């Protein structure tokens, strides 16, 4: 049984085939990088796996279960969490509450417990608040729990989004360009965070353009071009693959 | 210190609650009752639109369904009044569930259009289904709420409504502080991100639509037994718009927004009924609402809360709540919602 397996995944937008008959597997406990030129279908692939876009054909299997066609919340609760290319945090909630939102699935209290403010609910709320604080601590936002997201610098907002994803206690984390648009310090902070997550054995599939980031963080690379898999292997194998060089730089005419 | 901070709001509520005891003008008490009923509908809209981000411009329909449901059940079937009102709430809850289905597909303006159409359909039914509602002739002879064998006085009705509204507000307060309320606010910010944070937004919509409809239905039920007579014009589209105005004026994202807005928007026109200027009072009250929305876009309730928290900070009381509100002054709504969860005593 493979950890995550894409079977002939295809997604069309009208006449455009964004992802074309794509199949690959990713291994548990590894950081897999999904790279490719602009428009090669990387973000679409992430959207198809997380269920926010319906597939045109093909399927995704996660730990032996077919997840294609399930709603995004169901996929999230099965253990696939994600972040977005454009950071999407909840602007009207505090940083701590942003993380707490993703803990909703951990509650046994129901609506009646909420309306009657039962002891069970209070215990769970306090347990989940502590858990959320721990996660903020982990991503380096330990002191920022009461801040509104708009008051946080860009890099911190990204970390907050990652903390929210981690709050689902995922088995697989999908990161869509986690280091995009960051300054040097922020870049180092996110790199460091992902390396720390890798050490805990979390499986990650990430889309990234920054080769330095891919080189440092990634165990295995899958290269896409025009919605299809072009190559895969370790970063150093990929780096020297002529097809990959051609896809990125174009062919040299003699 | 936190305790002390709660004294003044409690005092304000207590002062409001003694009005019917000192003001023996029956019309004033009647209008206060109408105001409390409007507050219930507006509080339901705060939950639906303010917290969960789902627009409704058709809430007069729930109000109407609730009113006619209890009228029919008490007059034609012989239900006791209390059971009629509860049934009105339950029927609206079910209708609200059904109305939540379009929100799976559409949002924003499109959802407003869906709810406007829903409101119009219900209104047309009320007008045209003569055998059931007597249409434009109106529905007379609806019994008053009784206490033992005596019909409840208007003052008595005031306290019954105040308790109901208090319970509704408490329910919304608890909801908003819980994981469910956080999910709703998240959904109103970004539905897709809420889904991928593991929350079933469809279920959330069903819940909040039913809750909001329940509030509207109970309000309508109380209205039927307050006025003893129903006429279709109480449930036209402009009433739906009026309920939205209440929620917005009071504070769409504040737990107390419905209460404050319901009172203010109901009472303002009455205050403007100056002798000799009667023909202008509705225009004047619309102008007042317009000005309030422009000057206090996040509503009266959060504005008052902000001022109160700042005064508290200056006087050195209730440090924690006011301290963190200081940086949120640019956005009253978020700060107010946050202020609530703080003063609830963490």
Mean pLDDT, range B217-246, rounded to an integer: 95
Q: Are strands B150-151 and B146-147 parallel, antiparallel or unpaired?
A: antiparallel
The residue among B89, B66, B71 whose CA lies nearest residue B211 is B89
| CB–CB contact B334 A90 (8 Å) | no
Length of chain A: 254
What distance in Å separates the CA atoms of residue A136 and residue A156, rounded to the nearest whole number?
Answer: 10
Give, to the nearest 10 degrees, the angle between helix B2-22 and helix B26-45.
140
Beta bridge partners of A17: A12
Give per-residue pLDDT as tens, A96-113: 999 999 999 999 999 999
Q: Which of A88, A104, A115 sits opposite B179 (nearest CB)?
A: A104
> Element (H or E) spanning B329, and its range?
none
Taking each continuous run of H as one helix and of E as one strand, the counts in chain A are: 10, 10
The residue among B8, B6, B47 whose CA lies nearest residue B345 is B6
Q: Which of A209-213, B29-33, B52-56 has the lowest mean pLDDT?
A: A209-213
Residue A145, both tokens: 């729990």
What distance in Å separates the CA atoms of residue B258 and residue B270, rounded to the nearest whole number?
Answer: 19
What distance in Å separates the CA atoms of residue B104 and residue B203, rounded to the nearest whole number?
Answer: 10
Q: What pLDDT score does B67 carry?
A: 97
Min Cα–Cα distance to chain B from A212, Å: 28
Burial code (b: 16+ CB inside 10 Å, e: under 16) for B275-297 equals eeeeeebeebbeebbeebeeebe
Question: How many C-alpha atoms does B312 have within 13 Å on its Cβ side?
Answer: 27
Give per-residue pLDDT as tens, A122-174: 999 999 999 999 999 999 999 999 999 999 999 999 999 999 999 999 999 99
Which chain B residues touch A125 with a CB distance below 8 Å? 178-179
Min Cα–Cα distance to chain B from A249, Å: 35
Q: What pLDDT score does B326 carry?
A: 36
Q: Centre a 10 Å sphere on the Cβ of residue A41 and count the other Cβ atoms it contains.
A: 25
Q: What pLDDT score does A252 carry?
A: 65
Dihedral (Cα; A216, A218, A224, A228), 10-degree rounding: 170
Q: Centre a 10 Å sphere on the Cβ of residue A49 and count the other Cβ atoms it contains.
A: 24
Closest residue in A to B52 (Cα–Cα): A92
Q: What pLDDT score does B2 carry?
A: 60
What distance in Å separates the CA atoms of residue B261 and residue B259, rounded to the nearest whole number?
Answer: 6
Chain position carrying tokens 């509650």 = A107
pLDDT band at B12 (very low <50, low <70, confident <90, very high): confident
Min Cα–Cα distance to chain B from A4, Å: 18
Beta bridge partners of A233: A221
SS3 content of chain A, % helix, strand, coil (to 5): 40, 25, 35
Q: What pLDDT score does B84 carry?
A: 95
Q: Which of B182, B195, B327 sits opposite A73 (nearest CB)?
A: B195
**Greater model confidence, A197 or B342:** A197
- Quote the strand ranges of A52-160, DSSP E: 57-62, 65-66, 80-82
The residue among B107, B8, B77, B61 whose CA lies nearest residue B213 is B61
Q: What pLDDT score does B113 carry?
A: 93
User: pLDDT at residue B9 above 90?
Assistant: no
At A35 the three-state DSSP class reads: strand
The residue among B61, B58, B22, B38 whose CA lies nearest residue B264 is B38
| CB–CB contact A72 B196 (8 Å) | yes
| CB–CB contact B182 A97 (8 Å) | yes
Best residue in B198, B335, B339 to probe A by mutation, most A CBs within 10 Å?
B198
Min Cα–Cα distance to chain B from A125, Å: 8
**Mean pLDDT in chain A?**
93
Q: Which of A100, A105, A151 sits opposite B182 (nearest CB)?
A: A100
| Contact present, B43 and B259 (Cβ < 8 Å) | yes
| Contact present, A63 and A155 (Cβ < 8 Å) | no
Chain position carrying tokens 């329909």 = B61
Q: What pLDDT score does A243 carry?
A: 87
Q: Which of A105, A117, A151 sits opposite B198 (nearest CB)?
A: A105
| Contact present, A182 and A190 (Cβ < 8 Å) | yes
> Element (H or E) spanning B274, and its range?
none
Which chain A residues touch B205 with a CB distance below 8 Å? none
| CB–CB contact A77 B193 (8 Å) | no
Residues 6+ apart with CB under 8 A from B88: B65, B66, B67, B69, B70, B73, B217, B218, B220, B221, B224
Give per-residue pLDDT as tens, B73-124: 999 999 999 999 999 999 999 999 999 999 999 988 999 999 999 999 999 9
> Element (H or E) spanning B159, and its range?
helix B154-177
| CB–CB contact A88 B193 (8 Å) | yes
Mean pLDDT, range A36-61, rounded to an integer: 94
| CB–CB contact A52 B174 (8 Å) | no
Q: If you compute the radius of gyration of chain A from its CA atoms, what whole number of angstroms results?
A: 19
Out of A90-104, A174-188, A229-243, give the one with best mean pLDDT.
Answer: A90-104
Q: What pLDDT score does B323 carry?
A: 38
Q: What pLDDT score does A195 carry?
A: 92
Residues 6+ apart with CB under 8 A from B185: A90, A92, A93, A97, B51, B52, B176, B337
Q: Does A195 touch chain B (CB under 8 A)?
A: no
Min Cα–Cα distance to chain B from A243, Å: 35
Min Cα–Cα distance to chain B from A15, Å: 24
Closest residue in A to B211 (Cα–Cα): A111
What distance in Å separates the CA atoms of residue B171 and residue A242, rounded to the nearest whole number?
Answer: 64
Give per-residue pLDDT as tens, B141-178: 999 998 878 888 898 999 999 999 999 999 999 999 99
What distance in Å separates the CA atoms of residue B66 and residue B70, rounded to the nearest whole number?
Answer: 6
Residues 6+ apart with CB under 8 A from B188: A92, B50, B51, B52, B53, B54
pLDDT band at B1 (very low <50, low <70, confident <90, very high): low
Min Cα–Cα distance to chain A from B284, Å: 34
Residue B170 CA, chain-centre distance (Å), reads: 13
Which chain A residues touch B197 with a CB distance below 8 Å? 73, 76, 101-102, 104, 164-165, 167-168
pLDDT band at B322 (very low <50, low <70, confident <90, very high): very low
Q: Which of B179, B189, B194 sits opposite A103 (nearest CB)?
A: B179
**Mean pLDDT in chain B?**
87
- pTM of this structure: 0.89
Domains of chain B: 26-282 (1.10.3470)
Closest residue in A to B176 (Cα–Cα): A114
SS3 content of chain B, % helix, strand, coil (to 5): 80, 0, 20
Q: What pLDDT score does B3 carry?
A: 63
| CB–CB contact A76 B195 (8 Å) | yes
Beta bridge partners of A204: A31, A173
User: What percent of chain B is predicted at pLDDT more than 70?
Assistant: 90
**Greater model confidence, B31 or B338:** B31
What distance in Å separates the CA atoms of residue B187 and residue B194, rounded to the nearest whole number?
Answer: 5
- B interface with A, Cβ–Cβ < 8 A, is 171, 174-175, 178-180, 182-183, 185-186, 188-190, 192-202, 207, 253, 324, 327-328, 331, 333-334, 337-338
What distance in Å separates the CA atoms of residue A212 and residue A99, rounded to the nearest whole number?
Answer: 29
Out of B17-21, B172-176, B264-268, give the one with best mean pLDDT.
Answer: B172-176
């Amino acid at each position: 049984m493979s950890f995550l397996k894409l079977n002939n995944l295809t997604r069309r937008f009208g006449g455009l085939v964004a992802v074309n008959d794509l199949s690959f597997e990713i291994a548990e406990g590894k950081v897999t990088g999904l790279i490719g030129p602009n428009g090669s279908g990387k973000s679409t692939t992430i959207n198809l796996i997380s269920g926010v876009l319906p597939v045109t054909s093909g399927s995704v299997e996660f730990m032996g279960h077919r997840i294609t066609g399930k709603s995004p919340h169901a996929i999230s609760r099965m253990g696939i969490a994600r972040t977005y290319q454009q950071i999407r945090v909840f602007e009207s909630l505090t940083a701590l509450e942003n993380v707490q939102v993703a803990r909703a699935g951990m509650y046994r209290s129901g609506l009646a417990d909420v309306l009657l403010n039962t002891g069970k609910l209070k215990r769970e709320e306090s347990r989940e608040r502590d858990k959320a604080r721990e996660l903020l601590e982990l991503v380096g936002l330990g002191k920022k729990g009461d801040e509104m997201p708009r008051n946080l610098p860009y890099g911190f907002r990204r970390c907050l989004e990652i903390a929210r994803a981690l709050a689902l206690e995922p088995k697989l984390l999908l990161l869509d360009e986690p280091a995009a648009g960051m300054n040097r310090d922020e870049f180092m902070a996110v790199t460091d965070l992902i390396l720390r997550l890798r050490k805990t054995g979390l499986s990650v599939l990430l889309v990234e353009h920054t080769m330095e980031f891919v080189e440092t963080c990634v165990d295995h690379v899958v290269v896409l071009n025009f919605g299809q898999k072009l190559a895969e292997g370790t970063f150093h194998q990929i780096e020297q693959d002529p097809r990959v060089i051609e896809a990125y730089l174009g062919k040299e005419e003699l | 210190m936190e305790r002390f901070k709660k004294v003044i709001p409690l005092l304000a509520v207590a002062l409001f609650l003694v009005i019917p005891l000192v003001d023996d003008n029956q019309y004033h008490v009647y209008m206060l009752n109408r105001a409390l009923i409007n507050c219930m509908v507006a509080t339901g809209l705060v939950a639906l639109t303010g917290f969960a981000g789902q627009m409704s411009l058709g809430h007069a329909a729930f109000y109407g369904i609730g009113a006619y449901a209890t009228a029919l059940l008490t007059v034609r079937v012989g239900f006791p009044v209390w059971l009629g009102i509860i049934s009105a709430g339950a029927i609206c809850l079910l209708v609200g569930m059904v109305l939540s289905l379009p929100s799976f597909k559409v949002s924003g303006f499109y959802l407003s259009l869906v709810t406007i159409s829903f409101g119009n359909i219900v209104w047309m039914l009320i007008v045209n289904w003569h055998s059931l509602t007597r249409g434009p002739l109106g529905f007379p002879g609806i019994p008053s709420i009784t206490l033992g064998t005596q019909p409840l006085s208007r003052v008595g009705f005031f306290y019954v409504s105040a308790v109901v509204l208090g319970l509704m507000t408490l329910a919304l307060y608890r909801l908003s502080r819980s994981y469910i309320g956080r999910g709703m606010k998240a959904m109103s910010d970004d539905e897709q991100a809420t889904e991928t944070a593991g929350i079933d937004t469809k279920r959330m919509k069903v819940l909040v639509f039913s809750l909001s409809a329940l509030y509207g239905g109970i309000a309508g039920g109380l209205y039927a037994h307050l006025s003893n007579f129903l006429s279709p014009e109480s449930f036209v589209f402009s009433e739906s718009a009026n309920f939205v105005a209440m929620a917005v004026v009071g504070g769409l994202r504040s737990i107390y927004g419905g209460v404050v807005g319901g009172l203010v928007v109901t009472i303002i026109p009455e205050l403007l009924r100056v002798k000799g200027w009667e023909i202008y009072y509705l225009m004047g009250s619309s102008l007042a609402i317009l000005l309030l929305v422009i000057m206090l876009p996040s509503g009266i309730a959060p504005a008052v809360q902000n001022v109160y928290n700042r005064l508290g900070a200056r006087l050195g009381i209730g440090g924690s709540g006011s301290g963190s509100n200081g940086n949120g002054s640019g956005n009253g709504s978020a700060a107010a919602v946050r202020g609530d969860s703080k003063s609830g005593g963490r």
